[in-house]
Amino acid sequence: MHKKWPAFLTAIGWLIAVVAAAMNYSGQIQLSSFWRGFFYTLGALGPITLIAVYLYLRNRKNQQSHG
C-alpha cells in the first residue's frame, strides 16, 4: 500500500464531511441524525488521523534508521 493513500483518503473523507456539513447547514440537503453525526465525527477525526499517521510514519522511519 502506498504511503500517501491513508492521508489521501483521510483528506477526501474530511472534504466530503465539510461539504456535507455545509450543505446540511445551508439547508440544501437534510441529513438524518446518523449521517450528520457520522460526517461530523469524520470531520473531527480527519486532522487527528492525519497527525496520527504522520507520527506513526515518522516513528517508523526513526526505528529503521537506528536498526
Q: What are 10-62's pLDDT values in tens digits?
A: 788 778 877 877 777 777 767 677 777 777 777 777 778 778 888 888 888 87
pLDDT value of residue 8: 80
Q: Phi/psi at 30 (nearest 5 deg)?
A: -105, 110
Q: Phi/psi at 28 (nearest 5 deg)?
A: -70, -35
Q: Could you tell me if 17 and 57 are in contact, meaning their C-beta atoms sit under 8 angstroms apart?
A: no
What is the count of structural domains for the chain?
1
Which residue segment(s) compose the domain that 55 sits in? 4-66
